[in-house]
């Protein structure tokens, strides 16, 4: 693992929370993610499965966690299964977890080799009535590749047809939405790394720089700080910024344009997610500044409304109403347009067409109850924007906000966002690159 070790108390607490949600006489099973192929015999770097990591801290392929809170033998109430290390694996792939190391990472006392799973699991299923199995139930997921979880579900249903099979995902959706202080600290660290990357990138921002050169500055700073990209970064200058999921990052940043940078560092698998918009020349034009200020006002108001008990629909709707008023002031829609505003047909839709934000954690779009309501411990992105293709400009601003009983806490408030401060920083002498 690239990141510093994590206190296993986090994973012990998470397993306890999950076990408390399972009925008596049940078993729950969580899998590692598959290693996905590319071309020929190539593979992608494995992305640890969020649910397994949340419950164990394990990041190794072919691992599996079995929870049986009411098992007759207390030693069998949580068992971690891992690949057995070998000289061959050490030579070709590197050292694998030993049982002792797996226990140190996860806090799980009983660790067995994955080859032992069929016999151990059979014994547990003989004394339980329900099996809780996992699947990707993210509402925006496009599922075309069958996961290890689903493959095992099919096999178990065929082998044990008289058992009751239940969904684990709804339980995890609620549990994972509420972050512990330790999880918030990891998200905050990712946000700090992102801020450092943006500062480094600004030193290279000038007319003529390529979008991919800015991406390189960000990547260098992230890697230097033991992090990685939480998602493919969006670095779009001028009209490119009007493409919501622009990923080419291959065009020059021209004088007089704004460049939109949507990027986040992932530290210890916990994602951050920030968006900033900068003037390539170092100064905003009056029109750019007016649009920027409008988005900044909606951002601040929306952060203030990120409070306990708020439904996500109401949260988004308030931003849409406010944005419509801003668009009238900018001359982008008329007062008559704004008067026709409705939840079904928001008046702002042409220029602000996406959601206001999403849950953040082990996923960039982390799992959480679809409409909330917001609870203390949720971490939300807040990301209003205005996109004007006919003018070749767009502004989106995005911060990461912790919901608490005492009001919202902006985890990214220290990352430069005030337009005057941006212009002041960009007026300083720049060397064209970041620190080595």
Catalytic residues: 41, 245, 262, 273, 354, 358, 365, 383, 387, 396, 398
CB contact at 8 A, 237 and 254: yes
Residue 24 token pair? 């008596």
CB contact at 8 A, 229 and 264: yes
Residue 299 token pair? 């951002």
Please name which of 21, 7, 172, 12 lies closest in space to residue 108, comparing C-alpha atoms. 12
Q: Residue 317 and residue 78: Cα distance in Å, rounded?
A: 44
| Residues in contact with 91: Cβ distance below 8 Å, sequence separation at least 6, in sequence order | none
Q: At what angle do helices 9-21 and 181-202 cross, to 10 degrees?
A: 130
Please name which of 62, 79, 61 lies closest in space to residue 19, comparing C-alpha atoms. 79
Collapsing DSSP to helix, strand or coil, 294 comes out as helix
| Residue 215: HSE in the Cβ half-sphere, 13 Å Cα cutoff | 20
| Residues in contact with 301: Cβ distance below 8 Å, sequence separation at least 6, in sequence order | 318, 319, 322
| Residues in contact with 319: Cβ distance below 8 Å, sequence separation at least 6, in sequence order | 298, 301, 302, 305, 356, 384
Scan for tokens 């920083």, then name that residue.
425
């Amino acid at each position: 693992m690239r990141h510093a070790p994590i206190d296993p108390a986090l994973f012990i607490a998470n397993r306890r929370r999950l076990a408390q949600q399972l009925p008596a006489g049940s078993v729950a099973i969580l899998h590692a993610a598959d290693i996905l192929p590319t071309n020929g015999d190539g593979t992608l770097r494995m992305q640890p499965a969020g649910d397994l990591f949340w419950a164990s801290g394990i990041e190794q392929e072919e691992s599996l966690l079995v929870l049986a809170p009411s098992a007759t033998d207390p030693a069998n109430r949580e068992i971690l299964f891992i690949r057995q290390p070998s000289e061959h694996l050490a030579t070709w792939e590197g050292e694998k977890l030993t049982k002792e190391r797996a226990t140190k990472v996860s806090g799980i006392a009983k660790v067995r080799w994955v080859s032992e799973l069929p016999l151990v699991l059979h014994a547990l299923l003989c004394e339980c009535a329900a099996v809780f199995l996992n699947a990707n139930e993210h509402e925006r997921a496009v599922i075309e590749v069958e996961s290890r979880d689903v493959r095992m579900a099919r096999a178990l249903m065929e082998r044990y047809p008289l058992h009751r099979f239940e969904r684990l995902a709804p339980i995890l959706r609620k549990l994972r939405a509420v972050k512990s202080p330790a999880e918030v600290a990891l998200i905050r660290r990712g946000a700090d790394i992102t801020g450092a990357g943006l500062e480094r990138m600004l030193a290279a921002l000038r007319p003529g720089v390529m979008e991919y050169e800015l991406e390189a500055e960000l990547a260098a700073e992230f890697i230097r700080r033991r992090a990685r990209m939480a998602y493919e970064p969006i670095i779009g200058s001028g009209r490119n910024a009007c493409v919501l999921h622009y990923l080419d990052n291959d065009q020059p940043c021209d004088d007089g344009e704004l460049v939109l940078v949507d990027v986040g560092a992932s530290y210890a698998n916990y994602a951050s997610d920030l968006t900033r918009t900068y003037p390539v020349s170092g100064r905003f034009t009056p029109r750019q500044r007016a649009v920027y200020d409008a988005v900044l006002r909606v951002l601040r108001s929306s952060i203030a409304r990120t409070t306990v008990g708020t439904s996500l629909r109401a949260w988004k709707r308030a931003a849409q109403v406010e944005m419509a008023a801003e668009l009238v002031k900018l001359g982008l829609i008329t007062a008559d347009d704004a008067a026709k505003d409705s939840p079904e047909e928001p008046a702002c839709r042409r220029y602000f067409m996406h959601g206001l934000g999403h849950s953040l954690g082990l996923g960039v779009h982390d799992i959480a109850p679809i409409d909330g309501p917001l609870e203390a411990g949720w971490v939300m992105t807040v990301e209003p924007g205005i996109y004007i293709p006919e003018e070749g400009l767009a502004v989106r601003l995005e911060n990461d906000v912790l919901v608490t009983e005492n009001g919202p806490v902006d985890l990214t408030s220290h990352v430069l966002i005030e337009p005057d401060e941006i212009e002041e920083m960009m007026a300083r002498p720049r060397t064209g690159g970041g620190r080595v």
